[in-house]
Structures are given as structure tokens and as C-alpha cells.
Amino acid sequence: MTWLVTGGAGYIGAHVVRALLDADLGAVVIDDLSSGHRAFVPDEVPFVEASILDTTAVEKALAEHDVTGVVHVAGFKYAGVSVQRPLHTYEQNVTGTVSVLQAMESAGVTRIVFSSSAAVYGTPDVDLVTEDTPKTPESPYGESKLIGEWLLADQAKATTLAHTSLRYFNVVGSGRPELYDTSPHNLFPMVFEALLEGRTPRINGDDYPTPDGTCVRDYIHVADLARSHAVAAQRLANGDQLEAAYNLGSGDGVSVRQIMDAVARATGHAFTPDIAERRAGDPARIVAGGDLAARDLDWTMRHSLDEMVSSAWQARSRNQ
């Protein structure tokens, strides 16, 4: 049994690859290395350097490695930047998903686990988001992820595709010392880079309608997330019926200011963050429950906030 991980050389994808291996499921990686790293792919895992927009390359990878299913992680993941680059976002996330589904149909591969996002909900008017909460995305990124879910659902109606989508927001931490988040747009890497360069980290907006004025999110550990991808893959391979979508949430939000305090504790760098303007496309609060995922995908929060921050910092420091 082998699963193709699109974007498997990236931060999240590389953790998913290791979770698949830990579960005795084989893995193949396809990645164009636009944001991923060849060094993140284990030596024993076959690697195809190609874009998911290259349908022929995806189909070839599926056929040559006798792939059981796809864990589709590849995509353009930056909500704020997507406001300035909507066409690029749609090309990577919508056209890219179409390409993967076309390749799967041609190769006769009928199982897919899709990396979605809590950004599909926009700014919910409820304290705790469930899978049934209305979808009102506020950025091209969130819209593209919702369209991705629609594509899977429509393809399933037309074919024998078995699918599920995992929705999550801020993925942090490190499950392996050699893996760390290198995104220039994500909170943890931006804070760590500032500290390593002697700059003061900043908060984008402190006037949100939240307890301390900063954005509230679900911060979940990347290893916990990756484990649930592997469980979803195994269950689809077994022919089990899964929900169309699952929230991977803590049920309890953490503010950006609380993150900053945890960073100070983990790094030993005392600082008072600078305050900048809000970023376009950033909702004030998203906190999701994970009850369905706990029931079906062995989802649970296995790491505290301090453990998330310290593991991320240790991995980043090790790879300076």
C-alpha cells in the first residue's frame, strides 16, 4: 500500500509522509520545491520533482508506484497574501486540485485525503465552529479551499472516488528535529527569524474584538495533524465510510499575544512585541471543535502550547 503525498517536501507534507511510514503505509512524494525542501523527504521515499499542474507527471507517479490513494497537501497556503495574488492562489489550489483529480481518474486511483482549512468558515458568528457552520470565506485562499472540497464532492458523485477533507488553521511545532516551518508568512517562523536577527517580533493588529485584542486561533501540533491524515488514509484504504470533512481543532483558542508570551518562555528572549496594522483577510477568531475527528480519526491534542512552541524553536535553532 502506497500513498502519493502532494507537497510532501513541505513542512506539513513531510510530517504526513513520516506519519504514513510510522503507520506502515508506503509513501511517494511529488513536489515542485517552490516552497518545499528536498532534504525534508526521507531517502527511502521515492521523490518526483514536478508541479501538480503537470497532470501527466502526476498520473505517471500514480501508475509507476502503484499508488493506493493521494494525500493532497500541495497548495498556496497564505490567506493574507492570497488577497494580493488571487489568480496565483486559484491556479495552485483550484486548477492544481483539478489536475490531481484528472490524473487520479486516468490512473484509476479512487481515494483522496484533502488538506483543507478552517479559512473556509471566514469569521464565524459562533464561539465554536463545527463542520456544519456556514462557509463564508474571506480570502481567495479560503475560497479556493472550499472549491477544492466541492470538486471532491462532485467527482465522488460522478465516479467511485472516496474522499475526506481535513480542515485546520494554524499548524505549528515540530515532530522531528530535521523538520521546521520555513514559510515567510506564518507566525512562528516570522517571530523566530526576528529573534534570531535581533529584531522585535510584531503582532498584526491588536484591535480585534477578542479578549486581548489580538487574533484568536486554534494552534495545533503538526505531528498530531499528520497522524490524523495517516488514520484517514488507512480508513479509506480499508473501505470505511468517512465524513466529507472534519475539523481538526482544539476547542479552545489561543491569542497571538499568548503565543508571544509562550515564545518568550521557550526561547529565553524577553520582549514586548511591536504592534502593526491588521493584515487583510485575517478574521478575528476561529476556534473549532474536533469531536468528529476524535471519533473517526484518532484526533486529539497531544501537545500543550509550550510544547508546540518549544519543539518549533528547537527544530529551527538546530537548522540555523
The amino acid present at 119, given as its one-letter code, is A
The single-letter DSSP state of residue 92 is I
Burial of 100 by CB count in 10 Å (0-12 exposed, 13-18 middle, 19+ buried)? buried
Q: Facing residues of 164 across strands?
A: 113
The residue count for the chain: 320
Give the Cα separation of 94 and 53 in Å (integer).
10
Nearest to 52 by CA among 104, 88, 12, 92: 92
- Give the whole-angstrom CA distance, residue 243 versus residue 251: 19
Helices 11-22 and 222-237 pack at an angle, to 10 degrees, of: 50
Which strands form 2-6's sheet, in the order they lie side by side? 47-49, 26-31, 2-6, 69-72, 111-115, 162-167, 245-247
Could you give the 3-state DSSP secondary structure of residue 189?
A: helix
Extended strands (E) in 118-201 = 162-167, 170-172
Coil, helix or strand at residue 219: strand
Q: What are the b/e assignments for 269-288, b being 16+ CB within 10 Å?
A: beeebeeeeebebbbbbbbb
User: First CA to last CA across the chain, in angstroms?
Assistant: 36
168 as an active site residue: the answer is no
Q: Which of 121, 141, 219, 246 is catalytic?
A: 141
Q: Hey, which residues are catalytic here?
A: 141
